[in-house]
Amino acid sequence: MSKTNPVAASSKAKAAEADAKDADTKAASAGKDAPNPEAFLSVRDLRIHFDTDDGLVRSVDGVSFDLETGKTLGIVGESGSGKSVTSLGILGLHRSKRARISGEVWLDGEELISADPDRVRQLRGEKMSMIFQDPLTAMHPYYTVGAQIVEAYRVHHPQASKKAARGVAVEMLDRVGIPQPDRRVDDYPHQFSGGMRQRAMIAMSLVNNPKLLIADEPTTALDVTVQAQILDLIRDLQKEFGSAVIIITHDLGVVAELSDDILVMYGGKCVEKGTSETIFTAPEHPYTWGLLGSMPRMDRELQDRLIPVKGSPPSLINLPKGCAFNPRCPYAELTGGKSTTETPQLIEVKPGHRVACHLPEEKRHSIFRDEIAPRL
């Protein structure tokens, strides 16, 4: 597991670091510096940068959040916003030598970024586990579903016999709702339907009863009806296991009912963070508005009421100056030019609700009230 090594970093990277530190100092005033001892998971100023031939990619650039046991956090953003990179960073799955990781990840009182990689490995799958987007590619095609669950179990229960582990696998398949689990346990992933595969994937993630479950776009590859079943399953299992859950998605709809808190990411940074209710009822960041507007809803009749976010996600190598969202922001000119010169800080606007936007607070409220809310 590589960490940032300032000595080894190129001068270009160093400059970037300095730049980032600058922003960090300002953010520190917002009072998010110290890890929260209450939280089961506490992420502080997580930065994950990659050296590439084209330059330094700042995939995650100073993200902080807390998550308590039994709670669900939704991380929302477009592809390339850094949400998946964040989750892989928590699990310590960035193995490339070109990855530069800094910040802190506290899991149940243990700091993971500076921890011994093997220690993190032991925690992986045991205390924290992950569900991936496409269960067909995420499961090994050459091993039976059962074997893969057994493997996940036995790596953390080396004393368990194969037979016992198989029993656990069957039980887990049963719990995630696979019919005839004692028979299906010997099937290969390709013999399962998409939804079944994701159930099996969930069974595999939960086999060691992890305290933290990260679900990365768990329903994207599935059709709509199955999506709902899987989300229900995750919610049910969370209750049953009492884990902390992070759901990563580009679709606010997915997290609408599941999440306690929502973190909106853009260009590797957190642009808005709040309770689920706040984000859905009183969002303050224009990007969040866009996400809400592009959320497909059963009750929405007219397609023209969708407010898509125009333009495409920014390049993480050459982020726009100032507010990274400014080229796409319909209200950028209302900031009086600040949006192109100054990086907005994540400021707490209400307890538990933080926004990084240059627009004056009243302006944000009025725009949402007058222009956005009626169209949602």
Partner 1 sequence: MVAYIIRRAFAAVVLLLIVSAVTFGIFFLVPRLAGETTQQLASQYVGRDPSPQAVQSIIHNLGFDKPVYQQYWEFIHGIVAGRTFNDGPTPTHCAVPCFGYSFKSHLPVWPDLTQRIPVTLSLALGAAVIWLVSGVAIGVLSALKRGSIFDRLSMGVALAGVSLPIFFTGLLSMDLFSFQWPIFSNLHYVNFTDNPLMWAKNLVLPWVTLAFLYSALYARLTRAGMLETMSEDYIRTARAKGLPERKVVTRHGLRSALTPIITIFGMDFGLLLGGAVLTETVFSLPGVGQYAVQAITDNDLPKVMAVTTLAAFFIVVANLLVDLLYAVVDPRVRLS
139 near partner 1 (CB under 8 A): yes
Q: Hey, what are 60's tokens?
A: 């995650």
CB neighbours (10 Å) of residue 87? 21
Stretch that binds partner 1, among 47-55, 69-77, 132-140, 161-169 (CB under 8 A): 132-140
d(CA 365, CA 20): 30
Q: Hey, what are 199's tokens?
A: 């159930």
**3-class SS of residue 102:** strand
| Closer by beta carbon to partner 1, 119 or else 369 | 119
**3-class SS of residue 286:** helix
| Closer by beta carbon to partner 1, 84 or else 343 | 84
Q: Which strand ranges, in their side-by-side order, compose the sheet holding 55-67?
A: 55-67, 41-52, 99-107, 110-111
Residue type, 20: A
1 near partner 1 (CB under 8 A): no
Q: Give the residue ranges of DSSP H helices in 29-161.
A: 83-91, 117-123, 135-138, 145-156
| Closer by beta carbon to partner 1, 204 or else 246 | 204
Stretch that binds partner 1, among 47-55, 122-130, 250-258, 297-305 (CB under 8 A): 122-130
247 near partner 1 (CB under 8 A): no
Stretch that binds partner 1, among 33-41, 126-134, 245-253, 321-329 (CB under 8 A): 126-134
129 near partner 1 (CB under 8 A): yes
Query: What residues from 76 to 105 belong to the interface with partner 1 (CB under 8 A)?
Result: 88, 91, 93, 95
Residue type, 245: V
115 near partner 1 (CB under 8 A): no
121 near partner 1 (CB under 8 A): yes
The least distance separating partner 1 from the CB of residue 123, rounded to whole angstroms, comes to: 7
142 near partner 1 (CB under 8 A): yes
Stretch that binds partner 1, among 24-32, 119-127, 172-180, 338-346 (CB under 8 A): 119-127
Which of 224, 183, 235, 178 lies closest to 201, judged by CA?
178
The least distance separating partner 1 from the CB of residue 84, rounded to whole angstroms, comes to: 11
Beta carbons of 262 and 277 less than 8 angstroms apart: no
CB neighbours (10 Å) of residue 123? 22
Q: Which of 40, 50, 132, 287 binds partner 1 (CB under 8 A)?
A: 132
124 near partner 1 (CB under 8 A): yes
Beta carbons of 155 and 125 less than 8 angstroms apart: yes
Stretch that binds partner 1, among 74-82, 134-142, 238-246, 300-308 (CB under 8 A): 134-142
DSSP category for residue 293 = H
All residues at 6 or more sequence positions from 340 whose CB lies less than 8 Å from its CB, including other chains: 320, 321, 322, 323, 326, 332
How far does CA 176 lie from the centroid of its chain? 23
The least distance separating partner 1 from the CB of residue 141, rounded to whole angstroms, comes to: 6
Q: Which of 31, 37, 109, 141 binds partner 1 (CB under 8 A)?
A: 141
* Residue ranges in contact with partner 1 by CB under 8 A: 88, 91, 93, 95, 121-126, 129-130, 132, 134, 137-142, 144, 151-152, 155-156, 188, 190, 201, 204-205
